[in-house]
Chains A and B, each alone.
Chain A
Amino acid sequence: NAGVTQTPKFQVLKTGQSMTLQCAQDMNHNSMYWYRQDPGMGLRLIYYSASEGTTDKGEVPNGYNVSRLNKREFSLRLESAAPSQTSVYFCASSTGTGGLSGANVLTFGAGSRLTVL
């Protein structure tokens, strides 16, 4: 049972470099999300996709782009990395097509730790 798989697990970038975080789920979930986790701040939503073909901004979308490639995959791209984007990034998915509405439970990946120097 793979659940939600994120790659890479660790990445070090220099300021200005670009990279893409990959996420795939095998639970046939409709909605997918990208969060960042910073000490003392909990989880903050970057972008989400309520269903295949749709994406929406969350609380902290600046500096990021996303692509819902198909129902299984949802990638997060940093076009020009900045030190403020040093964080742990989590991908999650849930059933239903309402995105964050309803009482949908999120299933999280193991996280990707990104350091921007």
Chain B
Amino acid sequence: AQSVAQPEDQVNVAEGNPLTVKCTYSVSGNPYLFWYVQYPNRGLQFLLKYITGDNLVKGSYGFEAEFNKSQTSFHLKKPSALVSDSALYFCAVRDRGNNRLAFGKGNQVVVIP
């Protein structure tokens, strides 16, 4: 069964600094990979996904993520963080061979003004 690890509970970053949220995954086959963001008292919103092709995926709000097959990672990045980026970020993986989607436990990002 597939699984996702988001090793850090909370990521603190100063406004204007680069932001990285880490995600590693485990699947038996080839993955589809996703990032979602959750603002307080809201549902999850889609940010970006990796299906195939270019390992660098660009998404909403200036976010991007890099697929690294050898390290089984899909880290989320933003070159310059905004206070409004403070939210809970979820990585998710789906094995193309089955019908299940696994979410990580989420990372709280706090951008300090």
Which residues of A are in contact with B by a Cβ distance under 8 Å? Answer: 4, 40-45, 59, 90, 92, 98-103, 105-111
Contact = CB atoms under 8 A, between A and B. Distances in A.
Interface stretch (B14-22, B69-77, B94-102): B94-102
Contacts, number: 55
B94 A100 contact: yes
Contacts of B105: 40-42
Interface of B: 4, 9, 32, 34, 36, 41-46, 49, 51, 90, 94, 96, 98-101, 103-106
Given A105-B34, A108-B45, A43 B99 contact: no
A102 B44 contact: no
B41 A111 contact: yes
A90 B94 contact: no
Nearest to B102: A42
17 contacts: A4-B43, A40-B9, A42-B4, A42-B106, A45-B101, A90-B44, A100-B100, A100-B101, A101-B96, A103-B49, A103-B51, A105-B34, A106-B46, A106-B101, A108-B44, A108-B45, A110-B41
